[in-house]
Amino acid sequence: MLFGLYKDLSQRISLKTLSNEIIDKFCVILSLEMGLSENTINAYRSDLIDFRNWLRKSSTPVDSLDKKALEQFLRDGCDALRTSTVNRRVSAVKKFFSWLVREKIIEDNPSIFLKGSKTEQKLAVVLSEQQMLCLLEGPNTKTPLGIRDRAILELLYASGLRVSELIGLKFTDCLIQERAILVCGKGNKERIVPFGEDAFYWLKKYVAKSRYLLLKKTSSLFLFVGIRGKKMSRQSVWKLIRMYSSQIRLKDPCTPHTLRHTFATHLLNNGADLRSIQLLLGHTDISTTQIYTRMATKHLKQIYEKHHPRA
């Protein structure tokens, strides 16, 4: 029973601070029960550490918190934060207090009436087919790194992978001859995603001519490796995409997620149904995928305005 584990912690919570121990225990619950991704859990942990620091600074005991005090926490130091970040903090606090009540660490939930702010949903940046072609042709494929970068760009556009999914790909997850990859997505949910001829060509070339040179007589479980033969980081993929997008002077900043949005939007523009796109992207809820219908509608309006004589 979890309650037995937290008897000693309940005494600490009645003081003016939260311990790292109980925050860590809560984060384990987020992973085991809710299946949240590692990045989301880390963001929640950071939010709760900020909350703990605020409690210490304001000398506010947890058992005396009310909705007004929590709203004050969300206001303090949040002026420079995006609305989506503040809303994530609201979510972190609400989940945390619900868990504390469930485990009988505290009796009342002060966050029950706490609400986030409404945000205007902005359309994501999507590259045109011509822009995407220019981006793909950016790497110098006469070098091992250029071949690797071309394979990365081709695979991201061909499969719509998240950057965390890309760097987490094991060598054995890529079924090159079958033109498919086994992807471990959010919440450790697996899906198989196919890819086309261009990605097949560059992945095969990367594995045959580039990867072993980057490994330098070492070995790696991961498909994509850096110049020292180690697993690539999220930051390194971001940097290479920014570098190639700046070369073609894109107006809007280009990120790995831009290629994911572009993948989905181009599929929809060319006749793919929303349910298939949902499965390819690994979205649990189809409502998450429906943003791409808005992107496609915007694209059609632009075509209409450009080509219709009475637009």
Active-site annotation holder among 191, 230, 257, 299: 257
Active-site annotation holder among 95, 162, 261, 266: 162
Alpha-carbon distance values, 93 to 7, 96, 101, 116 (Å): 21, 5, 12, 11
Give, for 187, the enclosing helix (H) or strand (E).
none
Q: How far apart are the C-alpha atoms of 55 and 38, rounded to whole Å?
A: 25
Non-local CB neighbours of 219 within 8 Å, separated by 6+ positions: none
Q: How far apart are the C-alpha atoms of 77 and 308, rounded to whole Å?
A: 50
β-strands 174-175, 180-184 pairing: antiparallel
Query: Which residue type sits at 273?
Result: D
Mark whether 283 is an active-site residue. Answer: yes
> In angstroms, what is the C-alpha Rg of the chain?
23
Mark whether 25 is an active-site residue. Answer: no
CA-nearest of 155, 140, 134 to 202 is 155
Active-site annotation holder among 186, 230, 234, 242: 186
Active-site annotation holder among 12, 67, 283, 299: 283
- For residue 307, report the phi and psi dihedrals to the nearest 5 degrees: -115, -20
Mark whether 261 is an active-site residue. Answer: no
Active-site annotation holder among 89, 95, 260, 261: 260
Mark whether 217 is an active-site residue. Answer: no
Residue 101 burial by Cβ neighbours in a 10 Å radius (0-12, 13-18, 19+): middle
Mark whether 102 is an active-site residue. Answer: no
Q: How far apart are the C-alpha atoms of 191 and 276, rounded to whole Å?
A: 12
- Catalytic residues, by residue number, are 162, 186, 257, 260, 283, 292
